[in-house]
Amino acid sequence: MKNIDIYKNFLSGRHLSEGVRITAGIALPALIFSYFGFVSQGILMSLGALCISISDTPGPVIHRFYGMLFCNFIICVVYIIISYVTAFPIILALLLLIFGFLFSMLTVYGVRISSIGIAAMLIMILSFENPIHGNIIWLNVMYILGGGIWYMLFSLALYTIRPYKIIQQILGDFIIEIGEYLQLRGAFYQDNPDYEKTYKLLLEQQVQIQRQQSLLSDMLFKTRAIIRESTHKGKVLLKIYIDVAELFESIMTGFSDYTVLHQQFDATGILHKIGNHVITLTQEMKAIGLAVKSGQHSFAENDIIASAKELKTQFEDLRKTFMNDNNLDDFISLGRIVNNVQYLTEKINGLHYYTSFDKKIKTVSKELVEQSNFSESQDLRPALFFNNLNFQSNIFKHSIRVTIALLVGYLVSLFFKIGHSYWILLTIVVILKPAYSLTKQRNKDRLFGTVLGIILGVIILYFIKDKTILLIIMLFFMVASYTFIRTNYFIMVLALTPYLVIFFHFLYGTSLRLVLADRMIDTAIGSVIAFVASIFFIPAWEHTTIKTYLLKMLDADIHYFEQIAKAYSSENKLVLKDLKLVRRNLLTALANVSDAFNRMLSEPKRFQKNSTHVHQFVVLSHILTSHFATLSYFLNVTENRFRSEDLLPVIENTQRSLLSAVHYLEQKEGEPDTADVDSLTKINEQARSLLEKRKEEILIRKLETNTKQQLVEVKSVIDQFNFIYNIAADIAKCSRAIGKA
């Protein structure tokens, strides 16, 4: 992406919008009340707004409303309870244990409810600083509630004014992320590709895309104005999403033996041309993403249709001059790639038109909408909470770690009387995460960000004395901190610290030096406690839980393959709704297993057990998913007519390998049924017979025959079943090694 495009992407993105919205929602009560001389009341209202802003995570507006409403209730109850017991350290420590555990356990209910737990812990910790008594407690809680309600109404009002803006921003990000994925896939066609590095980057990008798609699907399919009402803009946004989701599935198709392709075709230059065309397509996708985010009409910067035609012409010329009976098989693979690239080109070209929101754009059918729904209902049953009250649950172990760390932090602050000691507890809450890798990274980010931020804040105060300018700078840093709060923790801390330095300068004046010293000491203490807790307090290493993700991956593989395979082994028509469901589960499982493996790599080496075999499993799963997607592509796009009952033994034995992998991972006794390699013989003989017939035609230069079309259809499908069979066998071997360790 060009520098100017990066700039535009940032300015039109949802994170900057969130940063401005949150800053305005939090700062306005304090500024307005301070203007009229009610400083303490304004700060209390801003405190309430701050807590509610934590729970205002992206999602359907109805979920945001109930989330913020529930958060208002929780923080008020917690504030009242803590305020009444601040004079009793033992009771306070007991409540710290109870609340710390309960609010950390809310993570089982997803991001939104988890954020409410964080907001509750924040108000609990901040209530320690200035103990109050009597009626002042109720007066303060009214100001906090007022600030919370203000922020809720302010945030929802902005949504009402521009209801589609957040969806456009997330959809634009989704398109850009898929463009990045396509660019990574294009690396396979460049000279001397680094396969291992590319696969690693593809897996990481897959995780990002899945997160965007899950959020976007929730926003689209749980918003009444888009699904039920007749708003043209909403329906076009839905059409763009569905087309982009199909585009992503098409991009995932066509995994080939790139080493063989390079050996056969490097000298012709066609692979390099494919790679360059793919780069051009990624540029177009990023332009489309920016256009969707900003609400503008995008136009193709390159004539991608003409470029695709040139690519097709070069391929056809190669068939006439370079194809022979020795490389016929490879030409079939290359032909599939060229056809897929043409399909992607047409799709991307169509997306440019959709950004015009022209009234002539046809909306999607109700059936297609249902088939494309990736949203899932959040399980809010109390049973989910109680089912996680055991040491097999990572969230349970995380909650105990948080509880112990908070108690240790409180005792340290109690016995050593360290300045603004609540910062110790705040540091623990924001740093300590269920995964060690996240805790480790946040620890480093917070320490370095705090030190650099304090230096930056002191420099600003040294050179700038005008209070109005300082206020503007403080608001700038406030916007920056909330802009990066979900994307870059280091930049968030780096911006948050000078904002607090300037704020405390206004609040404390001459005692600022003492406040800064306290902040650095407390941050260091909290970081040490959080880091020690993540290693020694019931640690949760990925190698202990990753088998769960692997098993879910295999389960998704089995169900997806079953749906696809039966369409080729009989004349039964594929039910697209069922296919979309199993595909969603497959992509979710793949993203989860990739994410878990990446977390494992961030842990200490001594805890990275089986990392080599797990990495092999993840890469094989990604390739297997691509071959599944290719079979789906043949059914839905090319309308491949090949069907054969001879595939049944192949399907059965492929499933047997996947079930063997489950057997090994679950460490069951005995040996599972092994796959019969002879099951491939009959179906491969059918393809070989057609191949030999086609070779004879090529020898006499008969290039366009019925045999050609039949061979392409038959061999395209049979090749995929061969790939899938062999990969499933490799996954079984890999699983056996993991299970033995």
C-alpha 112/C-alpha 115 separation (Å) is 5
Decide: 508 and 515 in contact? Cβ < 8 Å. Answer: yes
Q: Which domains does the chain have, with CATH numbers?
A: 162-371 (1.20.58), 388-538 (no CATH), 542-740 (1.20.58)
Which one has a higher pLDDT value, 732 or 422? Answer: 732
**Structure confidence by residue, pLDDT tens digits, 587-601:** 888 888 888 888 887
- What mean pLDDT is reported for the chain? 85
Assess whether pLDDT exceeds 90 at residue 438: no
C-alpha 694/C-alpha 684 separation (Å) is 15
The overall pTM is greater than 0.75: yes
Give the up-direction half-sphere exposure of residue 152: CA atoms within 13 A in the CB hemisphere: 22
C-alpha 500/C-alpha 514 separation (Å) is 14
pLDDT band of residue 572 (cuts 50, 70, 90) is low
Enter the tokens of residue 623: 């390739």
pLDDT band of residue 709 (cuts 50, 70, 90) is confident
Mean pLDDT on 22-28? 93
Assess whether pLDDT exceeds 80 at residue 674: no
Longest dimension (CA), the chain: 101
Mean pLDDT on 672-699? 79
For residue 79, the model assigns a pLDDT of 93
Backbone angles phi, psi at 29, to 5 degrees: -60, -45
For residue 311, the model assigns a pLDDT of 92
pLDDT band of residue 325 (cuts 50, 70, 90) is confident
Decide: 407 and 97 in contact? Cβ < 8 Å. Answer: yes
Backbone conformation region of residue 668, classed left if phi is above 0, alpha if psi is from -120 to 50, else beta: beta
The gap from C-alpha 375 to its chain's centroid, in whole angstroms, comes to 14
Mean pLDDT on 706-725? 83
**Structure confidence by residue, pLDDT tens digits, 615-655:** 899 889 988 988 888 888 887 766 667 788 888 888 899 99
Decide: 156 and 64 in contact? Cβ < 8 Å. Answer: yes
For residue 414, the model assigns a pLDDT of 79
**Structure confidence by residue, pLDDT tens digits, 174-207:** 999 999 999 999 999 988 888 888 888 888 888 8
The rounded percent of the chain whose pLDDT value lies above 70 is 92
Question: For the chain, give me the number of helices (H) and strands (E)?
Answer: 29, 0
For residue 371, the model assigns a pLDDT of 58
